[in-house]
Amino acid sequence: MYPIAHIAGMMDAVVHGSGERTVSILLTDSRKLSDPDVTLFFALQTTRRDGHQFIPELYEKGVRAFVVSEEFPASAWPGAVFLQVDDTLVALQQLAAAHRSSFDYPVIGITGSNGKTIVKEWLYQLLHTDYSIVRSPRSYNSQTGVPLSIWQMDATHNLALIEAGISEQGEMIKLERMIRPTIGILTNIGEAHSGGFNDQGHKFREKITLFRNARQLIARETDMVPNQESLEWMDENLEYLTWGYADNNTFVLTELRKEPAQSVISLRYRDHLYSFTIPFTDDASVENAITCAAVMLVLGKGDDLHFEKMRHLQPVNMRLELKKGINQCVVINDSYSADLSSLEIALNFLQQQATTEARTVILSDFLQSSLPDEELYQLITELLLQHKVGRLIGIGERISAALAHDMPQGIQTSLYPSAKDFTRQFRASQFRDETILVKGARVFAFENIVQLFEQKAHQTRLEINLNNIAHNLKEYQKFLKPSTKVMAMVKAFAYGSGGAEIAGVLQYHQVDYLGVAYADEGVELRKAGIRLPIMVMNPDEAAFDQILEYRLEPELYSFEILEAFEKYLLQEGQEHFPVHIEIETGMNRLGFAISEIQMLAEKIKSSSCFKLQSAFTHLAASEEAVQDGFTLEQSDKFNRAAEILHRVTGQSFLKHIANSAAVIRHPALQLDMVRLGIGLYGVDSGHSGKLDLRPVATLKSTIAQLKKILPGETVSYNRKARFEKDALIATIRLGYADGYPRRLGHGVGAILVNGHRVPVVGTVCMDMFMADVTAVPGVREGDEVIIFGEDPGVEELADRAGTIPYEIMTGISQRVKRVYFQE
């Protein structure tokens, strides 16, 4: 803990207010507040958000220490201290650099295009018994993530593993000043994250800036040899330790033998031969393992005991999976690691996704901590209380021993010696309407516990990447003015992806509004804990009670619905109820005609029932260049109508017209707010080429059976798929009842099996379809198949089916299990 005055000196800050305070937690995201008394909040500013606006909220919650770049009169904030700096991000990095300088133990800095997190986590698996290790949580490798990672360093550690990731020129030098690695690791230089660099050489030069003051650099020969000229300005004392097949490498790869389910690797280092086995065969894992072996040798850990650990390396799962559970529960699966850093991340995710007040956490022993058990489990208890966890189930001898005589106050606690003991006593009826986080070290095999909580469903699933929702939102926000608000459309079960889960992410990332088609969709969001304003685009009289009870905001599109809602509000004694007005400008679907706007405005003015929240219209063809003239006509009509509404009613309201395509193709139409729909889910409907959108949904299934087909035999109904030669046919657990269009049969559709595209053959059946996998080597029953996702994309599938991505995504049946994950 640092005194606030000391921190001010480390950042060259001007202090306003009381300086008698100590700080141990740095906060950059107001949503992740845990312990206000010892928190220092940095009011970071981005193109979309200004952290200063969250200071009143945090002050109400008990935070009293703030780093700001604007003037805050301390007299207006009793007990608070403000550290004023020119740039809050620079101050955060400056503080991290000063903190880093307090420690002289080895710091391993890791960068590269791919594999950073896996190498870091594998090194932790291999070395945690030798060192007290501090490491970056998950992928905290950005301009804000690195300082938070470094802040974890303290005197109890004797080795640090810090990731560094960049996406454009000039970023790495800032990370280097904070990390100052003594040993560097360059995993590889590949195509990933290349957008901000001129070419591969440029990216290499930026990456190795991290190692300009390091003592040693471990890297692939294939990355170093082509970039020799870029090394001329590096410190002449930097020792380059490369690995590869050539004899002039520090670590010479003498053997690489891939066997079923494992690889055998031999390295020669300083005239000694080291052989080890890893439980992986893919090229990326082999390279990452060689890098880890090189680090162990540099650290003097080259004995047989350490290399035997390579045989037991565990896959690094960087995803938090969210699944529908039994008895209306939601289950978060993080059964891959158990340490304080990842626990806090998982608890933040729990807080973000909790659909009810009831929160349960199932924890194993934390086997890899350097803290004494009493202190460790006290810290864990404090984290649980801070995140409002009501029930703790502890599994393992150490957690049971630590908590048995000191049960956490305020948390219902049950303790079990082993996972088997919990499983034997498991009763599904004891879990209902709660969010359950399952988190444990791999050796406890908590995946078996997760299965107890899962709803039973067939093996087809729609995987929803919540990170990509957030990424796509930020892609659009790059093109918005800072003042432009965002309404996110989550109608039709969030385009088939899951309304409540998607809305939870959007709420977490602070969109301004949500839009749904019907009131019952809004009700479900409210029941799931969504607090954002929700516009209902197609209300009817039967839903008025729900609209009022659940604080929904109806769209009024005709005098009939307006008068019916006014009558209802009068009966209920409601005044100034928020409503949205749709104006018809050319879509010819719903909305008040331009000729009706004067009468509408006078009606609203004469009534005390309505508070205009917004007026909007729907563009009919914003994605089509040939229709740009019509789009501008719609805009002109809308602006004239909105001006009449404002002038006659005297009310101010938001104006919005732009959808996903118009945000990019018609930036002048942003107005006060934009409505993002299909674009959030990874589809660039305007085909602009300006957006780096990522697919949110991936539809997967498995092979139920393989059949050898002889020449002359047929497949599926009507016998239209006839084979002229031997073939191998896979039956896939998916059919038109699940939302897979019948039009994709008979070679129209294609799926991905073990990385190979194969055609759909025969007629698509209700619950299954068949594919020709003759050309797929090693295919087996139970193998996973990808229907759409990264490849093939949903746009391609829709095009093959003669429809649009909207129809494909919203048509996925509810019997297909949704699995949500966040990296």
For the chain (length 823 residues), average pLDDT per consecutive 10? 93 88 92 88 91 95 96 91 97 98 97 91 94 87 95 94 92 97 93 66 90 96 87 85 96 94 95 95 91 97 94 80 84 82 82 80 85 88 91 94 85 93 88 92 86 75 92 95 94 77 90 94 88 94 93 96 95 92 95 97 95 96 94 97 97 96 96 95 90 94 95 93 94 95 96 96 96 95 94 94 93 87 77
- How many other CB atoms are found less than 10 A from the CB of residue 375? 11
Ramachandran angles phi, psi of 784, nearest 5°:
-80, 145
Query: What CA–CA distance (Å, rounded) separates 662 from 635?
Result: 11
SS3 812: coil
**Contact call for residues 183 and 214 (beta carbons, < 8 A):** yes
Query: What CA–CA distance (Å, rounded) separates 43 from 309?
Result: 44
Question: pLDDT at position 194, please?
Answer: 58
Query: What CA–CA distance (Å, rounded) separates 75 from 77?
Result: 5
SS3 29: coil
Calculate ∠ Cα 390-348-47, nearest 5°: 150
Whole-angstrom CA distances from 622 to 540, 630, 667, 695 are: 28, 9, 11, 22
Query: What CA–CA distance (Å, rounded) separates 112 from 291?
Result: 12
Whole-angstrom CA distances from 701 to 234, 459, 495, 599, 758 are: 50, 6, 20, 55, 14
**Contact call for residues 433 and 327 (beta carbons, < 8 A):** yes
Query: What CA–CA distance (Å, rounded) separates 410 from 407?
Result: 9
Q: Beta strands 727-732 and 769-772: pairing type?
A: antiparallel
Calculate ∠ Cα 413-415-418, nearest 5°: 150
Q: Which residues are catalytic?
A: 491, 717
Question: pLDDT at position 239, please?
Answer: 95
Query: What CA–CA distance (Å, rounded) separates 770 from 758?
Result: 10
The two tokens of residue 531 are: 């607090």
List, in order, residues 6 or more apart from 426 with CB less than 8 Å away: 452
Ramachandran angles phi, psi of 640, nearest 5°:
-65, -40
Alpha helices in 428-543 (DSSP H): 447-453, 466-477, 491-495, 499-508, 519-527
Task: Spell out a b/e string for 275-297, using b for 16 or more CB atoms within 10 Å of the CB, else e.
Answer: ebbbebeeeebbbbbbbbbbbbb
**Contact call for residues 450 and 335 (beta carbons, < 8 A):** yes
Crossing angle of helices 88-100 and 172-179, rounded to 10°: 40
**Contact call for residues 172 and 143 (beta carbons, < 8 A):** no
SS3 4: helix
pTM of the model: 0.73
Find how far residue 305's CA is from the centre of its chain.
Answer: 37
